[in-house]
Structure 1
């Protein structure tokens, strides 16, 4: 009898320890930060997720002055992402911004932070590596360009919006060719497509057209698009995975508006990525 009680107690302790470990792993949420080396992030799975199926994941880089918390509080972003069944990972910039070559806003290595977040999310959730998208707006869009340049294979695709390289632009991208879809407003005065100088020339936002041209060269795409299509307010020039020698597609979408974003564009970028990945698989 004593031996049986000892055995039962032993298994009870193991169960408690296992439960505690699982609870700790799932402790963070859309309001409780997930802590990693160099910072933290917030995360929200889709409401109807079964807890085990592989998830498409959006790693979202906010604009200047915002944070992971403001991303989660965006009432326009939640419905389309939930409907599409997308895991939202809200990245959190140091001092509400991002640091990359040409713009240093803090002491943190933001590329190391991105790698730490990606590794942590993979431990917590069964994400589908073929459906990971790094997207961002404004200076967050610029950060996405630099992550694509330096860490290309880390994400399946990239979707910067209203933000491109800063000057001086990278002369080499160790990340190699990437799937990237850029969106920009023709009337954007905050981050004009042609770029602009800031703080009396101390910083200079780069030309989005030149940023994209460099991507085309990197991807082995021709100068002219394979097709031009109008999708709602967006006019998109597309270079497909089938014609770019690297097998990595690129798309540049413009709209008539200013410095703005619509959550539906992110879901569209997921759909674009899915289509291009399928085309690549058929090559």
Structure 2
């Protein structure tokens, strides 16, 4: 590898060769002990130029490949900070499931999470491995996730060690059980958050729930507007302003709640999507619901682009 001329925010992978092997589609399946994650590098990946990193956590019963499909984060031509982005899709460990006798992948913070698994520590170790093997911009690490993975994304935002690791967070249709949305959430800094939730979500209702359909109170989740307001307060924002986007003949539209303080990093953007169920919004309906916008390209990546740890 030629000598690196990368700036100070460049990771160790900018000055040493990777031990990972990528296939013709620019994918590498990486194992780390008993954990695994799927890595996608852009076609124009430069091993001496720092690239942004987007980690995306799958939902309950999901996996790395499903998360890649529904988010579209590996699509050609996507950029952050003017360069192709590195997208990573970790796999959760197998937990007992909602019935207690299943074997289903899940993330920390849910009633069905695998007992004793520290996914926060795993995330830190995974990011370190990525930093050692790829040329990344350490000021531009981002976390996203759907459902159980969205709840875990929120937990990462609430945890000081990971709130200072990732520059911004995108929890989509998040399962905000108490373990993923702690009452003592204290990230230690203003945290940029962009959130999407459907008004027709019957799995994690927008208005919240005191228990699930079986009456289990451990499945209680908050009202999403109140969840956003809590982040606005945490970030020192005085208020949330709402604005409506146009509808189309499918009847879908989004209401954006925006909280922006003088400090550009103190932002909470929330999209309330009429007619959408428990899904990641996309025009192709990649996750079970068609919307008039692609959340990934129209909203999440532009939001990430505005925020770095600089």
Q: Which TM-score band (shorter chain)? A: 0.7 to 0.9
* 1:206 and 2:221 correspond: yes
* 1:71 and 2:67 correspond: yes
Q: What SS is found at the alignment partner of 2:243?
A: strand
Ranges in structure 1 where 5+ consecutive residues have no aligned partner: 1-20
* Separation in 2, partners of 1:273, 1:32: 24
* Separation in 2, partners of 1:213, 1:42: 34
**Contact 2:72-2:296 at 8 Å conserved across structures:** no
Ranges in structure 2 where 5+ consecutive residues have no aligned partner: 1-15, 95-104, 248-252, 283-293
* 1:170 and 2:165 correspond: no
Kindly tell me the number of residue pairs found equivalent between the two proteins.
254
Q: Give 1:33 shift.
A: 3.0
Provide the residue aligned with 2:272 in structure 1: 254
* Separation in 2, partners of 1:164, 1:75: 17
Q: Give 1:48 shift.
A: 2.2
Q: Give 1:238 shift.
A: 1.1
2:29 to 30, 33, 40: 33
1:228 to 234, 243, 257: 243
Structure number, greater radius of gyration: 1
Q: Give 1:38 shift.
A: 5.3
**Contact 1:145-1:164 at 8 Å conserved across structures:** no
Change (3 A) 1:152 1:38: farther
Q: Give 1:276 shift.
A: 4.9
Provide the residue aligned with 2:145 in structure 1: 136
Q: Give 1:61 shift.
A: 0.4
Which protein is richer in helix relative to its size? 1
* 1:242 and 2:257 correspond: no
Q: What SS is found at the alignment partner of 1:128?
A: strand
Q: Give 1:62 shift.
A: 0.5
* Separation in 1, partners of 2:136, 2:178: 35
Q: Give 1:60 shift.
A: 0.3
Q: Give 1:36 shift.
A: 2.6
* Separation in 2, partners of 1:82, 1:93: 28
Change (3 A) 1:76 1:180: closer
Q: Deviation digits for residues 233-275 of structure 1, max 9, x if unmatched?
A: 432111124267xx42111111111111136312321212323
* 1:190 and 2:185 correspond: no
Q: Give 1:98 shift.
A: 0.9
Q: What SS is found at the alignment partner of 1:235?
A: strand
